[in-house]
Structure 1
């Protein structure tokens, strides 16, 4: 193999595609997976004192919100790389639903963090979690 052929095989596009997808999946793992981890940890945190769940939530927010930002940014990057205009109507409909779910999970998580009653915290937390899982499912459907 000559140098030019070798250089052509090392095109940056596959590397950037891998980076784009890795960042998106890693951010989704932190955002969605972290919600499940918090769901499991909060009952134990409550036994440690009345302020423990809030301290845990603040620590989680330091990871989850940057992950959410990466998720949104790489989502737009994915859309640009996939050329949505060349996709089917049903694919674009699922993509639109996914965007609505992403907006809903972000808004609900933000409201959950600002809720003052246990009922509101539970409701917004549930909406954030369910919409995050549904957005993840939509992403799997879009990937084929």
Structure 2
């Protein structure tokens, strides 16, 4: 069996947090219609419960992302450009998710939730490109 290293732990925590952040957003989005049928306020309660898990996961993503960057050696311009694109998507994902939690209308809630999910998915895709 391979040995467990600090690098293994770093990547594991990053992937786990990404699974919670990205996967949780999509799971909750697909559950919204059923939650609305379940009764008034159920969707809000579920969203608040998700936020208690999602935001710490986002924080772990940010911390392990910095840790990841600090462990990579000298990279070429293509890698750095791809990394900057990922960082832009990270910021957009967090910002749109935050604004989604503060939205006052159903339209704004839907639009910001969609943008948050799409930018989270884009972040995940670009992260896979980075290896």
**Superposition TM-score, scaled by structure 2 size:** 0.96
Matched, 1:117 2:102: no
Matched, 1:131 2:124: no
| Cα deviation 1:51-90 (Å, max 9, x = unaligned) | 010000000001100000000000000000113xx11101
3-state secondary structure, aligned to 1:87: coil
Match of 2:92 in 1: 104
**Greater RCO structure (CA 8 Å; 6+ sep):** 2
The correspondence of residues 19-98 of structure 1 with structure 2, limited to 5 A, is 19-83=9-73, 86-98=74-86
CA RMSD of aligned residues (A): 1.3
| Cα deviation 1:85-137 (Å, max 9, x = unaligned) | x1110110010010010000000000000101010001110110000000000
Runs of 4+ aligned structure 1 residues displaced above 4 Å come to: none
Distance in 1 of aligned mates of 2:9 and 2:92: 26
State how many pairs are aligned.
130
Distance in 2 of aligned mates of 1:119 and 1:57: 17
Q: Answer with 1 or 2: which has the greater Rg.
A: 1
Distance in 2 of aligned mates of 1:131 and 1:106: 9
Structure 2 stretches of 5 or more lacking a match?
none
Structure 1 stretches of 5 or more lacking a match?
1-9
Distance in 2 of aligned mates of 1:112 and 1:68: 15
